[in-house]
Amino acid sequence: MDKFIHSVKLDTNACNGCINCIKYCPTQAIRVRNKKAAIIPEFCVDCGRCIRYCPHHAKIPAYDSVHEMKNYKYTVALPAPSFYAQFNNLTNVDIVLNALLSLGFDDVFEVSAAAELVSELTRVYISQHSENAPFISSACPTVVRIIRVRFPTLLPRLLPIKAPVEIAAEIARDRAIKKTGLPSEDIGIFFISPCPSKVTYAKAPLGIRKSNIDKVLAMKEIYPLLLPHMTHDETHLKPLASSGRIGIGWGGSGGESAGLLTDNYLAADGIMDVLRVLNDLEDEKFHDLNFIELNACSGGCVGGTLTVENPHVAASKNKRLHRYLPVAQTHLNQYPDLESGWTEEVEYEPVFRLGKSFRESLEMMGMVEELTEQLPGLDCGSCGAPTCRALAEDIVRGEATQNDCVHILYDYINSLTGEIASLTKSLDLSEKQNNQSLKLLEEYIEKLTTELTRKDL
Amino acid sequence: MAENLTFRYKISGDDFTRAGEASSNVKSKLKQMGVDNNAIRKVAIAMYEGEINMVIHANGGTITVEISSDNIHLVLADTGPGIADIEKAMREGYSTAPEEVRSLGFGAGMGLPNMKKYSDNMTIESVVGVGTTVTMDIHL
């Protein structure tokens, strides 16, 4: 699988080539070319910001269809901790879990149960490696992806433990194989996800070679299908819930940290705040921290682009739901054979590097500086790049030209016009000369038309 | 062909919240140029400390960053009060930062020592009442 896939699609009919997404993208991964927004795959970290901000809903999150269930003999649903907070007045997680069975899944395994294992593993890991603290949570795939391309010195700080959803998938698959005797490929592990970043993760995970998740479903698609299967009569529910405060708390920002039972942590959410924290962490501006929890979405996973409930409402529902639950209900001693650590090293991918070598990059950077000076500095986005500097970089990379800048183009047209005006004035008005000036005028108009057509204004 | 690349920054002395902007800007440019990660880290930390010093003590100044193929040369010049006793100022934990600055978490007396620690070569020229110029080199 390609290292740089992402889970944002473009509805080309809906995209009108405006500049909203290019301005909101935190990694400057989008350019408007030929009136359509195009993502540079190497730069995209699947934060979902363009999906949120596109006023035309042209940015579409990718996810699998619920109909994929038909393609497996045995299916297991893995609801994310943030899923429960989508429902109104939910007092018992078993209502949701039983509804998933009624909808057609053969089994369920809560990601929040696996999260309690990850919390336990993290506590052990930090206490054994305290000299290298603080560690950064690796549960949000967007955070791992942005560190991979932007913060090479922070890679060793990533917690080398599988994300809760991966551990849930592994346990669920094992359990299904033991129970049914079916071969692995007949078993479908379906994650019910709050975000498209996990869609990318399932296809191209970092830290492990291959994910045990087969399909990633959107909460917003499952939600309306599940409602008719939910019951108010709790007497006939199968007892399936196996997570407590810690596990369900993972659904919101600060939840993972709360599971570590330490005060020396920092929890930041929202991709812009995440970037600020990573920058400061790189400059060693934090002291005495053990753990750094980062979630790309505001509010944590409850703020994902595939959720239905307002993230702030969901955050409080999440708290209400787990307030009176036991601290944790799933423990490591129940899973002695669990393989929980990362198996692959996450390597730095210097995608933002200008040239192939330092010398080449140095020279290109000089050109970028020079070009940036010449551009108007308005960051208007009309060229399709988010800032004048980004355009300068695109020009130096050979992916744009200076006349993509409308202001430079106007100046150019202006100078052409001035040139032709003074030329025609200086010519004699004899018939022979008149022909020549006509020819010059024709040439000018042709040049102008070519420029304007190319620009496709 | 340009062999060296120079960036100049004017550090404003009256705004704490903007301290660190210049070093952050240099850091992102060095990353784009594929400079060794450890060297970037050293430049970022040394320059950040210098930038903070300028804001705390000298009401701002200018920073020049000169990048060549084997070295990054930083010149931090201000027209502040100057350093009376450089040897003392280089001691870890020694600080003349005012109380209101310390209450913000700065002024721990680690600025100059950290600049020395993270650079391969550092010089300080200072005249009381005239100003201070710190130069640092980080070899590539």
Distance of residue B133 Cα from the nearest chain A Cα, in angstroms: 23
Q: Do residues A149 and A283 make contact, with C-beta atoms less than 8 angstroms apart?
A: no
Confidence of residue A454 (pLDDT cuts 50, 70, 90): low
- Mean pLDDT, chain B, as a whole number? 90
Bridge pairing between strands A30-33 and A36-39? antiparallel
CA dihedral A427, A433, A437, A442 (to 10 degrees): -170
Question: Tell me, what's the pLDDT at B1?
Answer: 44
- Mean pLDDT, chain A, as a whole number? 93
Question: Tell me, what's the pLDDT at A1?
Answer: 55
Residue in A287, A289, A358 to test binding to B, most B beta-carbons within 10 Å: A358
Residues B131, B134: Cα–Cα separation, whole Å: 10
**CB proximity list for A269: less than 8 A, separation 6 or greater:** A253, A294, A295, A296, A297, A298, A299, A300, A303
Mean pLDDT of A10-35: 96
Residues A128 and A166 both lie in one domain:
yes
Please provide the CATH number assigned to the domain covering B5-139. 3.30.565.10
- Contact list, B5 vs chain A (CB under 8 Å): 362, 365-366, 369
Query: For residue A179, how many other CB atoms are within 10 A of its CB?
Result: 12
Stretch (H or E) spanning A61: strand A59-61
* Residue B110 contacts A where some CB pair is shorter than 8 Å: no
Q: Do residues B9 and B62 make contact, with C-beta atoms less than 8 angstroms apart?
A: yes
Residues A226 and A358 both lie in one domain:
no
The ipTM of this complex is 0.82
Cis peptide before A311 (omega within 30 of 0): no
Residues A259 and A288 both lie in one domain:
yes
pLDDT per residue over A365-386, tens digit each?
Answer: 999 999 999 999 999 999 999 9
pLDDT per residue over A139-170, tens digit each?
Answer: 999 999 999 999 999 999 999 999 999 999 99
Of A153, A355, A369, the CB nearest to B37: A153
Residues A61, A59: Cα–Cα separation, whole Å: 7
* Enclosing domain of residue A231: 66-334
Phi/psi of residue A141, nearest 5 degrees: -65, -30
pLDDT per residue over A89-139, tens digit each?
Answer: 999 999 999 999 999 999 999 999 999 999 999 999 999 999 999 999 999
Angle at Cα A90 formed by Cα A88 and Cα A93, nearest 5°? Answer: 140
* Residue A42 contacts B where some CB pair is shorter than 8 Å: no
- CATH code for the domain in which residue A375 is found: 1.10.15.40
Count Cβ atoms within 10 A of the Cβ of residue A432 and give its class: 0-12 exposed, 13-18 middle, 19 or more buried.
exposed
Scanning the structure block, which residue is given the tokens 């040239």? A355
Mean pLDDT of B102-128: 88
CA dihedral B7, B12, B17, B20 (to 10 degrees): 30
Count Cβ atoms within 10 A of the Cβ of residue A392 and give its class: 0-12 exposed, 13-18 middle, 19 or more buried.
buried
Q: Looking at the predicted structure, is the pLDDT value of residue B2 above 90?
A: no
* Interface subset of A 150-179, CB within 8 angstroms of B: 150, 152-153
pLDDT per residue over A182-226, tens digit each?
Answer: 999 999 999 999 999 999 999 999 999 999 999 999 999 999 999
Residues B40, B34: Cα–Cα separation, whole Å: 9
- Contact list, A283 vs chain B (CB under 8 Å): 20, 23-24, 27, 44-45, 48
Domain count for chain A:
4
Q: How far is CA A456 from the centre of its chain?
A: 32
Residues A452 and A385 both lie in one domain:
no
Residues A209 and A272 both lie in one domain:
yes
- Contact list, A362 vs chain B (CB under 8 Å): 2, 5, 33, 67, 69
Could you say which of A334, A361, A387 is where a domain stops?
A334
Residues B38, B30: Cα–Cα separation, whole Å: 11
Mean pLDDT of B102-119: 85
Specify the pTM: 0.90
Residues A118, A328: Cα–Cα separation, whole Å: 12
Query: For residue A28, how many other CB atoms are within 10 A of its CB?
Result: 18
Residues A152 and A19 both lie in one domain:
no
Q: Which of A271-285, A319-333, A409-423, B35-49 has the lowest mean pLDDT?
A: A409-423
* Residue B5 contacts A where some CB pair is shorter than 8 Å: yes
Q: Is residue A2 in a domain?
A: no
Residue in A157, A283, A348, A363 to test binding to B, most B beta-carbons within 10 Å: A283
- Put simply, the answer to whether B32 touches A363 (Cβ < 8 Å) is no
Confidence of residue A427 (pLDDT cuts 50, 70, 90): low
Count Cβ atoms within 10 A of the Cβ of residue A402 and give its class: 0-12 exposed, 13-18 middle, 19 or more buried.
middle
Residues A398 and A416 both lie in one domain:
no
Could you tell me the CA-to-CA distances from B100 to A6, A51, A216 in Å, in that order? 47, 44, 53
- Put simply, the answer to whether B2 touches A284 (Cβ < 8 Å) is no
Mean pLDDT of B68-88: 93
Residues A183 and A300 both lie in one domain:
yes
Q: What share of chain B is helix, strand, coil (3-state, %, to 5)?
A: 35, 30, 35
Q: Do residues B93 and B103 make contact, with C-beta atoms less than 8 angstroms apart?
A: no
Q: Looking at the predicted structure, is the pLDDT value of residue B40 above 70?
A: yes
Q: How far is CA B68 from the centre of its chain?
A: 18
- Report the amino acid identity of residue A152: P
Q: Which of A4-13, A40-49, B88-97 has the lowest mean pLDDT?
A: B88-97
Residues A197 and A98 both lie in one domain:
yes
pLDDT per residue over A238-263, tens digit each?
Answer: 999 999 999 999 999 999 999 998 88
* Residue B105 contacts A where some CB pair is shorter than 8 Å: no
Over pLDDT 90: what percentage of chain A? 84
Q: Tell me which DSSP letter residue A131 carries.
A: G
Residues A258 and A396 both lie in one domain:
no
Residues A168 and A303 both lie in one domain:
yes
Mean pLDDT of A57-81: 97
Q: Do residues A48 and A146 make contact, with C-beta atoms less than 8 angstroms apart?
A: no
Mean pLDDT of A45-51: 97
**CB proximity list for A292: less than 8 A, separation 6 or greater:** A134, A135, A136, A137, A157, A265, A266, A267, A268, A277, A281, A286
Q: Where are the domains of chain B?
A: 5-139
Residues A393 and A414 both lie in one domain:
no
Residues B63, B51: Cα–Cα separation, whole Å: 8
Beta bridge partners of B11: B61
- Put simply, the answer to whether B31 touches A369 (Cβ < 8 Å) is no
